[in-house]
Structures are given as C-alpha cells and as structure tokens.
Amino acid sequence: MINISNLAKTYQMGKVKVEALRNVSLSIQPGEFVAIMGLSGSGKSTLLHILGLLDVPDSGSYKLMGQEVARLTEDELAAIRSQTIGFVFQQFNLLPRTTALENAALPLLYSAGERSKSRPRQLLADVGLASRVTHKPNELSGGQQQRVAIARALVNQPRIILADEPTGNLDTKSSLEIMALLSKLNRQGITVILVTHEETIARQARRIIHIKDGRVDSDRRLSAEKIRSAKNPKDELQVPTETRETHALGLRQLLDYFHQSFRSLLANKLRTGLSVLGILIGVFAVIAMLALGAGAKISVEKSIASMGSNVIQIKSGTRTVGGVSLGWWDPMTRLSVADYQEVGRSIPFVKRTAPEVWGKVQVTYGDKNWSTYLVGTSPSFAPMKAFVPTAGSFFTEDDLTQRNKVAVLGMTNVRQLFGTENPIGASIKINKINFQVVGVFPEKGANTWWDSDDMILVPVTTAMYRVLGQQFVGVIDVEVTNKEQIPAVKDSAKNLMLQRHHIPATQTQAFKIDDMADIQNAISTSMNVLTYTITGIAIISLLVGGIGIMNIMLVTVTERTREIGLRKALGAKRRDILFQFLIESVAVSLTGGFSGIFLGWLAALVFSWLANWETPVTLGAVSLGFLFSVGVGIVFGIWPARKASRLNPIEALRYE
C-alpha cells in the first residue's frame, strides 16, 4: 500500500536548517496497524504528514498503492485525501460552532461521490455518541471530541487512517477507549498508522517503527497475525477523474458553499455588521443622490415647461459707453409696453407676445392677509404659458387698455385667503387697492425654492401704473410658431430692439434674448454635474467600504488559518476554499447593498413627502447599486479568498 524510499525533509528555522527526515525508507501493507514512535523532534509527525499528503518531501520517492505521489497535482492530492485517507488529530481540530453531526459530515462537502446523509449519524452511534449528535465541541469531553474526530475520519470510508498522537490530550480511560476503537477498525480491514511517544499505546499496534534523529532506528512486528483488508485495494491508486478536468459547479456544491459561508458570517455578527454598514452607506448614498438628482431634473423640466414651449424672452441688457458699463438702470435699454406690441406686429413667425412686470405685494381678504408676488401681463400670457383659468376667466384686452383692477389668483393665494370659499367675484386688497377676483389659474406645483402657485396675475398696465409704480416692462415673452424658427426670431427681435432704442448694432449686449431650451439645457447640465459629483463621492464611500471588507476578510483568513488547514486535510481543493471565502465577501456586500437600496428608496420617499418634490428611484439606480455591491464583494474579496485557497495545509494546521 505504501512504499517510500530515501525520503528527506529539511526545515529552515531562521538561519538554522533542521533535518527532520534523513533518507527514510519503509513499506506498509494493506490492513496493517503500525505505530510510529520517537521523541519530540525525531521526525515522526513530519513522516506522518508526508504519508497523509499534507506535506511534500525535499527528495526521495513516495508511492501510494503504486502511484508516484510527486506526479500528482494539488487538487488530485486533495481528492485522494478526501477518499482514501482519514485523519485523527491530537488537537481534535473540530469546528467550534458546529455540532458533532456537522463535524462528522464535514468531509462529505468535498467528496465527489454520492453522499449518505445517514452515515455520519450512524458512525457517531458506532463510536458511542448517538445521544450527543447535536452537541457542540465545548459541550463534549476530550474523549468524546476525539470520537467525533474518528467518526469524521471514517465518513468517506477511507482505506487508511492516520492518527497523530490521538491520545495525547486524553485521560487514561479515554485513551484506552480510543485505542480500542482504532483496533476494532483495523480488525475490519482498515490500515491504521499511529504516531505516539507512549510505549503502552504503541504496543497495542502490531508493528512499531522507531524514528530517531530523522532516521528509522528500528522496525519490529509484535504479531504474526494475518493481515486482512476489507477493501482488497488494487495495485494501482485510482486518482479520481473529477480532479483531472474542469467541471461546472453543481447546485449541491453551491448550496454547501453558501451554507458554510453564512455560518461563518453569523459566528462573527459584530464584524459582519460593521462590514455591511460600510457598503450600506455607500449604496444608500448612490440611490438617494441619484433619486434627488432625477427629482431635480424633473422639477426643472416642469418649471421650464410652465414657461411655455417655443418661447423666448427679451430682457434689458447693458450698454458700454467709454469702456464703462451703464448697468441695468440705463433708460435706453429699458423695455416698454409699446415694445412688446411692436414685436408681435413686425417680426415674422411670432405667434404671441406678452409682457411681464413683477413685484412683491401684500394681499388681504377680510381678516386674512398674505404676502405674495404680483405679475402684470397681457391676456396672451394665459395660453402661452398654460395659465388658462380652471375657474372663472382671464382678464381681457379691454381690462388692459382701461387699467381695470381685476386679478387671477394662484391656488396658494386661494387657500391662504379663502380656504374652501369660492373666490370668483370676491373683492381683495392688493397693497390696499381693491381688486376683483375673476379667475383661478391651474395649480402649477411648488418645490423647495419656488411656489408657482403663489402669484396673482393682473393687467400689465394696472400693475405698472396703479400698484407698482413702474414705467418699464421687465420681460417680453415671445412665442414662436415652430421651434425651427427660434434662431431667426431671436436675431430679428434683437435687431428690432436696437433700432427702436436707437442703439448701435455693435452694442450686442444691450438686450438679452433667452431661449427656454437653452436655459433648460444649462440647468440640466448643472444638475447632472452636481448629481455625478455627489454620486462620485458615494462611489468613493463604496470603495472605502470595499477596502474595509478586504481588511476584515484578510483578518478572517488569518484567524481561520487552522480551519482552512483542516478543510484541506479533509479533501477541500483550492476551488472549495476560494469560493467559500469569496461567497462570504459577496454575501456581506450584497446584504449591505440591498439594505442600502431599501434605505435609499425610503429616504427618497421621505424627502418627496417632506419637500413636496418628486424623487423617483429608477431601475437604473437600483441596478447600479446592485452591480456595485456585487462588484465590491468580488473585487475586494478575491485577494483574501485567493490567499486562503493557496495556504499550505500542514503550515495552516500548525498555525498558532
């Protein structure tokens, strides 16, 4: 079964080289019960680790059932450990937060064959632990823990059991029970190789090999009893073909990975929670900021739409005389009612024109008063900017000519002054001047900075000469018949204003012509820049959270080094360890991601409710948050996972 020739192993201890094995040669037949003895540091444990494929010699030959071990890959060695060799350790090496049944079944996770769910329970019953299957290691005695380890070693029906000081941490009674159990297994045909430094333990084997200073000092048989093998192993070791080619992960394996990963995460709730928090904050910020940015764009679009489609605005600019700007108070550039009328008469492709004058006023009705904005305009303002009253009517050209004191109210004014009372026909005072309410324009909506319903519309002449005392118009709105004609109308309007006000054509800044589309694009661009900036900050916080995950996973790998070594000793391949740790990282990231998406959506709803501002959480924002969560988990989890998967099994088991 085992044939080794001239094995040598040297360890580098700082600047000193220690020769653990020196040209060791021996053979072991199927069904033997062999005890390897020696003082501490003699090399007996090193020999056992090499026999168990946990360590590799520096030189020499090791053939296991006719197969040269040195020619096998790491995954092939792992598969052989899983199916051919069972390990019993001095320190038991049981996973602390799992039950006896789960510890006994652990090698099945890495077995390529069919799994028997009942076998681990039956093995625990065979070693006298039928009533303790749900107990965790801290609830078991030392002898009971070692029995669990033996059941674990037998679960995949191995041909060889390697026991490293299996009674070293046990009392006399427990030691005798464990040795009786190993003897029973040997009588059933399983090859048992035992490392011990106690003569009384070794004498229970049928062959004792003494190791001294890294060499075989003696090799003697205590019994001539015929060796039996229950499995009748073939001459050549059959390396499982599953390790020789790449296979897609099955559902069973994925479920096992998830089960193991979530168990590990739940075992360290505080650390996991802090990792989740880092991702949660980043995703929350991304979702909330994108929702606020989308809401801001919608608000801007609504505000621009309320100004009318295909509308340009003519405004006073500034002249420069002698290199000095005269500013907005220059009378030569101030607009008049006659200007707005002339624009409508003389410029082609103009559908409507309307002047605007603004002022802050105090309005009263009965014992109620309200501070609001007064807008003086013309009847064409209503269809141009969608202010056609929903109740009553708009004022007329006659009201404009006669400077009648009539008013059209916004819904904010109606609510503040009239409540549920019908305002049509009522008399109100604007700056102590009586006005009759003739209509109520449609509700336009409000945002954090401006309430479009907090306005009163009156004839422009009434506003200028009866209320505000202004001689000039602030803005002239011009509605163009179609969008394609806007550039031509803008040029014509500027030229007309320069001619009417006798200003040289070189003074191009004397009048400003604003296009609502240009304003919308400029505001949208600004909002996009703001949204991208805030989202960038949120993404940076995600990266910081990812670095936190990576650091915590690296700490986890260090803390669980012995566990990784145990899993590899039981047959775990690099892929198994890699996926387990990677799934842990992605699980933390996704938990934080989904929590952040939910809280970001909730924050958007709360802000929308408090500010009366639409803040939609789009599918794109949710997808971005989800993809970032997965990406952070994979990118920042791959290094710790890869580090864990590449650990040497024997070095990991020796880690303190």
Q: What is the CATH number of the domain that holds 55?
A: 3.40.50.300
Could you give the C-alpha distances from 423 to 280, 392, 394, 440, in angstroms and in order? 51, 9, 14, 8
Q: For residue 552, is it within any domain?
A: yes
Containing structural domain, residue 144: 100-156
Q: Is 122 left (phi over 0), alpha (psi -120 to 50) or beta?
A: alpha
- Identify which of 498, 467, 510, 497 has the alpha carbon closest to the alpha carbon of residue 340: 497
- Please state, in angstroms and rounded to a whole number, the distance separating the CA atoms of residues 291 and 297: 10
What pLDDT shows up at residue 80? Answer: 87
Mean per-residue pLDDT of the chain: 83
Which of 106-115, 169-178, 469-478, 529-538 holds the top average pLDDT?
A: 469-478
Domain stops at, among 461, 485, 509: 509
Is residue 282 within 8 Å of 292, Cβ to Cβ? no
User: Does residue 34 sit in helix, strand or coil?
Assistant: strand
Domain stops at, among 477, 509, 541: 509
108 and 184: one domain? no
**Residue 69 vs residue 527, higher pLDDT:** 69
What pLDDT shows up at residue 245? Answer: 38
Q: For residue 93, is it within any domain?
A: no
- Identify which of 432, 428, 384, 433 has the alpha carbon closest to the alpha carbon of residue 410: 428
Is residue 111 within 8 Å of 156, Cβ to Cβ? yes
Q: What is the band of 322 on the pLDDT scale with cuts at 50, 70, 90? A: low
pLDDT at 463 over 70: yes
Q: For residue 168, is it within any domain?
A: yes
Q: What is the band of 302 on the pLDDT scale with cuts at 50, 70, 90? A: low
Mean pLDDT of 365-378: 94
583 and 637: one domain? yes
Q: For residue 306, is it within any domain?
A: no
- Please state, in angstroms and rounded to a whole number, the distance separating the CA atoms of residues 624 and 629: 8
- Please state, in angstroms and rounded to a whole number, the distance separating the CA atoms of residues 338 and 355: 10
Which of 134-148, 182-196, 235-249, 424-438 holds the top average pLDDT?
A: 424-438
Number of domains in the chain: 4
Q: For residue 424, is it within any domain?
A: yes
227 and 284: one domain? no
- Please state, in angstroms and rounded to a whole number, the distance separating the CA atoms of residues 90 and 63: 26
What pLDDT shows up at residue 596? Answer: 87
550 and 618: one domain? yes
What pLDDT shows up at residue 115? Answer: 62
Q: For residue 362, is it within any domain?
A: yes
Is residue 588 within 8 Å of 265, Cβ to Cβ? yes
What pLDDT shows up at residue 283? Answer: 84
Its pTM stands at 0.62
Q: Helical H runs in 505-560?
A: 516-559
Mean pLDDT of 550-557: 80
494 and 441: one domain? yes
pLDDT at 448 over 60: no
372 and 468: one domain? yes
600 and 630: one domain? yes
Q: What is the band of 296 on the pLDDT scale with cuts at 50, 70, 90? A: confident
421 and 477: one domain? yes
428 and 337: one domain? yes
- Please state, in angstroms and rounded to a whole number, the distance separating the CA atoms of residues 79 and 112: 8
322 and 464: one domain? yes
* Percent share of the chain, pLDDT over 70: 88
Q: For residue 254, is it within any domain?
A: no
Q: Which of 329-333, 396-400, 408-412 has the lowest mean pLDDT?
A: 329-333
Could you give the C-alpha distances from 534 to 158, 160, 439, 526, in angstroms and in order? 60, 62, 44, 12
Q: For residue 494, is it within any domain?
A: yes
396 and 435: one domain? yes
What pLDDT shows up at residue 39? Answer: 86
What pLDDT shows up at residue 517? Answer: 65
Q: What is the pLDDT of residues 34-66, one digit of tens each?
A: 999 988 888 888 899 899 988 888 899 999 988
595 and 623: one domain? yes
Q: What is the band of 411 on the pLDDT scale with cuts at 50, 70, 90? A: very high
Could you give the C-alpha distances from 426 to 166, 271, 337, 414, 421, in angstroms and in order? 101, 68, 29, 11, 10
Domain stops at, among 109, 128, 156: 156
